[in-house]
Amino acid sequence: MNESAHILLVAPTHYEVRYAINPWMEPERWLRDAAGFGAQARRSFDALVTALRAAGCRLTVIDGAPGLPDMVFPANAGVVLDGRLLLARFRYPERQGEEAPFARAFDALREAGVLREVASLPEGVFQEGAGDCLWDATRGLFWVGWGQRSNRASVQAVADYFGQPVVPLELVTARSYHLDVCFCPLAGGEILYYPPALSADSLARLRERVPAAQRIEATEDDLAHFSVNAVSVGREVVMSRTTDRLRGVLAERGYRVREVDLSPFMMSGGGAFCMTLRLDRRSTAPHAETVAAVTA
């Protein structure tokens, strides 16, 4: 049996591609067949639900809000560890309207006992949730992306709030606008990542902490399939339809890959991980009361 995983999803009732704030977004293409793509998005969402449940996940599905199509990507709404949630602050006005409805949803989860605390970022800090803050249970640290959406100050804000080690990773390409597009800690300890997305210093930090045998380099084709943007639960990996190469690499390492056609959401720059927020992540040690240092 896989580890227990409680995952939040947002139904795609109000999903559409109506603006472009990353290089993957295709609003013109969406508008050519909005009804058809909308129906396809609902089918893709249902297929993702089926795959996650088959992987052993418990799901909570909430509604989005009209006029906020990217609420379907709750990974960007907050970071969760040990029942404590740090609310995101979005850089672009197109997504800033999501902050209030997500805050209400998280307060409801706190009242239901799913979360024990919900907190806000300091003023002036942009941090776009788990999309830029990935917990590595094997190493007991956060990999924190910055440079595209989240700013450099978010690295210390994460360390201050959670009291856990953090490793900053600078994102240097517009296509990897969030860390989860190009970086995925797998449950067995491997890191799946796309090297060109990271600065030279960031690659050095990664290689210092992760031995070569546990580093899986993704190709540009893998990135374009949104295969790095995957949900890893035990030996199960849920992702968009992937490449033959990566499917084989993961199978050789003992992972079962569950593929879902997420093409309607890829038109907005999102894949399986973007569409999920894990609510039950726990640190490997009790929460530290002292402030954690940022690992340079």
The model's pLDDT over 200-216, given as tens digits with 9 standing for 90+, comes to: 999 999 999 999 999 99
Residue 251 lies in a domain: yes
Given a cut of 70, is residue 279 above it in pLDDT?
yes
pLDDT band at 2 (very low <50, low <70, confident <90, very high): very low
Proportion of the chain above pLDDT 90, given as a percent: 94
pLDDT band at 286 (very low <50, low <70, confident <90, very high): very low
Given a cut of 50, is residue 258 above it in pLDDT?
yes
221-249: average pLDDT? 98
Residue 283 lies in a domain: no
8 A C-beta contact, residue 278 and residue 259: no
Please state, rounded to an integer, the average pLDDT across all residues of the chain: 95
8 A C-beta contact, residue 277 and residue 236: no
Chain centroid to CA 258: 17
Q: Which three-class secondary structure string do you get for the chain?
A: CCCCEEEEEECHHHCCCCCCCCCCCCHHHHHHCHHHHHHHHHHHHHHHHHHHHHCCEEEEEECCCCCCHHHHCHHHHEEEECCEEEECECCCHHHHCCHHHHHHHHHHHHHCCCCCEEECCCCCCCECHHHHEEEECCCCEEEEEECCCCCCHHHHHHHHHHCCCEEEEEECCCCCCCHHHCEEECCCCCEEECHHHECHHHHHHHHHHCCHHHEEECCHHHHHCCCCCCEEECCEEEEECCCHHHHHHHHHCCCEEEEECCHHHHCCCCCCCCCCEECCCCCCCCCCCCCCCECC
Given a cut of 70, is residue 1 above it in pLDDT?
no
Residue 291 lies in a domain: no
What's phi and psi for 27, nearest 5 deg? -65, -35
4-32: average pLDDT? 97
Predicted local confidence at residue 4, as pLDDT: 73
Query: Which residue in 57, 133, 184, 274 is the catalytic one?
Result: 274
pTM of the predicted protein model: 0.94
Give me the domain span that covers residue 68. Answer: 5-278
Predicted local confidence at residue 295, as pLDDT: 65
pLDDT band at 55 (very low <50, low <70, confident <90, very high): very high
Predicted local confidence at residue 284, as pLDDT: 72
Predicted local confidence at residue 287, as pLDDT: 39
Please indicate whether residue 178 is annotated as part of the active site. yes
Residue 91 lies in a domain: yes
8 A C-beta contact, residue 137 and residue 187: yes
Residue 15 lies in a domain: yes
81-105: average pLDDT? 98
Residue 288 lies in a domain: no
Query: Which residue in 57, 178, 184, 225 is the catalytic one?
Result: 178
Q: How many domains does the chain contain in total?
A: 1
Given a cut of 70, is residue 289 above it in pLDDT?
no
Residue 163 lies in a domain: yes
Please indicate whether residue 274 is annotated as part of the active site. yes
Domain with residue 176: its CATH number is: 3.75.10.10
82-92: average pLDDT? 98
- The string of pLDDT tens digits covering residues 132-187 is 999 999 999 999 999 999 999 999 999 999 999 999 999 999 999 999 999 999 99
pLDDT band at 51 (very low <50, low <70, confident <90, very high): very high
Q: If you count them, how many residues does the chain have?
A: 296
Residue 107 lies in a domain: yes
Q: Is the dihedral of CA 36, 63, 278, 100 positive or negative?
A: positive
Distance CA 121, CA 87 (A): 7
